[in-house]
Amino acid sequence: MPEKQAGDVEVAQPEKFLPSAWNLLVSYVRALCRMGIAEDRTVRLVFARQLDATTHAWRGLVPLAIVFVAAGIAALWGSTNRPGAIAGALLIIGTMIWGWRVIPTRTADKDLKEVARCHLICASLVGIGWAVLCIALTAYASREQIFLVSLVQLALMAVGLIMYVNLPIGYFGFSTPVALSLAITSSPVTLGGPAVSLPMILVYYAIMAKAAVDQSAVFAEAQTSTSRLAESELARVEVERKSAEEQARRAAETRAREAEQSIAASRQAEQLKRASLLELGAQFEKDVAAAVTLLSQAVAELDQSAAQLATIGEKSAGAAADVAERATAASSSALFAATAASELGQSVGEIASHVDGHAALSDAARMLASSSSERIHAIREEAAKIDDVIELVDGVAGQTKLLALNATIEAARAGDVGRGFAVVAGEVKALASRTSNATADVRAQTGSIVGQIATASARMTETAGKIDEVAAIASFIASSITQQRQATLEIGHETNQVADHVDDVRERAAELASGAQVTSSLARAMNETIAHISRQADTLRAETAGFLERIRAA
């Protein structure tokens, strides 16, 4: 191969140029369509700043865009496809309002991909709205109006670059519909027609897209470098801070060791001094404690004796009070018993009188029962005689009935002459039958009366026997009541003597209670003296302990 001369110009080979151009184009397209973010913290922070810058630029142009849409429709209203223009304007304004509410002003703590997606949707819809509006404005317009609208479309692509210089995907979504509408509207007014306008629009679109990608990359690189530099500076400051802290820690440790050594020496001297003081204090505590212990033992024994004396006094007073109370109760009971015995004697006398009366009444009842029994026996005999009379009447009735029958037979023989006699004979026969029936009833009633009289006689006899038994019991009760009355009188006499003795016991118990109260008063005075001595001993012990504590603390 011939060697390359110094003056020769190197010519790019076609087989090398085309792949490199293709790779460059692919990289630009990838950068243009980038929405994803890396996991690196710095890259995420830079992308968040790009989104914030894009949002700020977009919000600044929204009011101007709304005013421009309204002015364009008003200026070209006569030569405009009105439904299309209104639809495009509504799409632009509605999308801007939606984006104003949805897209946050700060995205540091938001989902970055979601915010970028919202920007892309908003940019695409606004770009489509501008495309529809521009096509509608040029539907019936003149060449001058079409040329004016084409200039507006070129300006819109430049505005899209300004808004989305930090987000190329947003520029792609906004400028692509505008570029397509520019190709449609500019063909009639371009020299050479679509063959000239389309390549020019494509070149313009590519230049704008490349500018957006390059500016975004420059911004990202600058922000990344700034962030890296800031992180490096922070790391350096952190290293210097840690180094200074380490040096300060070492110096502090050195000073602490020196202070510990000095403190150890002072502490050793202090310990020797305290040891001697503690030894002296221990001996003092031992002597004082022994004296206080002896005093406490004596006070305790004296306190115990006083307590026993007080207990004995209280028990004696209680026992004396109890005896006096019981004596009073016994005296009252004895007097009550004497009164009750007297009343019982009177009641017994009255009962004896009633029993005597009851005995007399029993004798009278017995005599009356005997007399009644005799009268009932006589009535029974008279009733038996009535039965004989009834038998006689019954026989007469039978004879009368027989005679009436014979008379009836004779009257029948006599014929008509004896008819009246036959009637009389029939009535006599009927009367005899009624008499016979009445006699039977009287016999039955008489038998019943006789039976009842017999029963009454038997019961009367039994009653007389019971009355005799009651009279015997009443006589025995009268004898017993007489004996009980005598015993009751003796009980009343003895009860009065018991009441006199109980009064003597009550007087002795009162004297014993007075002596017990004096003993209790002496015991309480002794307890107060013992308590005062005990408090003095406790004070001495506490002061000794405080003195020793001060010695130990020193």
In angstroms, the CA 108 to CA 116 distance is 13
In the numeric block, which tokens belong to residue 180?
Answer: 């397509």
pLDDT at 15: 45
Residues contacting 498, CB < 8 A, separation 6+: 330, 334
In angstroms, the CA 65 to CA 153 distance is 13
Does 554 have pLDDT greater than 80? Answer: no
In angstroms, the CA 486 to CA 448 distance is 57
| Other CB atoms within 10 A of residue 477 CB | 17
- Averaged pLDDT for residues 321-344: 63
pLDDT-based confidence at 126, cuts 50/70/90? very high
Contact (CB, 8 A) for 168 and 210: no
Could you tell me which residue, 23 or 69, shows the higher pLDDT? 69
pLDDT-based confidence at 444, cuts 50/70/90? confident
Contact (CB, 8 A) for 128 and 92: no
pLDDT-based confidence at 231, cuts 50/70/90? low
User: Which of 29-43, 192-206, 237-251, 539-553 is the least confident region?
Assistant: 29-43
Does 19 have pLDDT greater than 60? Answer: no
The 10s digit of each residue's pLDDT in 130-143 is 999 888 888 777 78
Q: Where are the domains of the chain?
A: 16-189, 295-553
- In the Cβ-directed half-sphere of 485, how many Cα atoms lie within 13 Å? 15
In the chain, what is the straight-line distance between the N-terminal and C-terminal CA atoms, in Å?
Answer: 106
In angstroms, the CA 244 to CA 236 distance is 12
For the four alpha carbons of 400, 404, 409 and 411, in that order, the dihedral sign comes to: positive
pLDDT at 406: 77
In angstroms, the CA 399 to CA 432 distance is 9
Please give the model's pTM, rounded to 2 decimal places: 0.37
- How far from chain centre, in Å, is Cα 435? 103
Does 16 have pLDDT greater than 60? Answer: no
In angstroms, the CA 488 to CA 350 distance is 14
- Give me the amino acid identity at 136: A
Contact (CB, 8 A) for 439 and 393: yes
In angstroms, the CA 167 to CA 220 distance is 10
Question: What is the DSSP secondary structure assignment for residue 39, as one 8-state letter?
Answer: S
pLDDT-based confidence at 22, cuts 50/70/90? very low
Q: Does domain 295-553 have CATH number 3.40.462.40?
A: no
pLDDT at 4: 41
What is the secondary structure of 313-348 as a DSSP string? Answer: HHHHHHHHHHHHHHHHHHHHHHHHHHHHHHHHHHHH
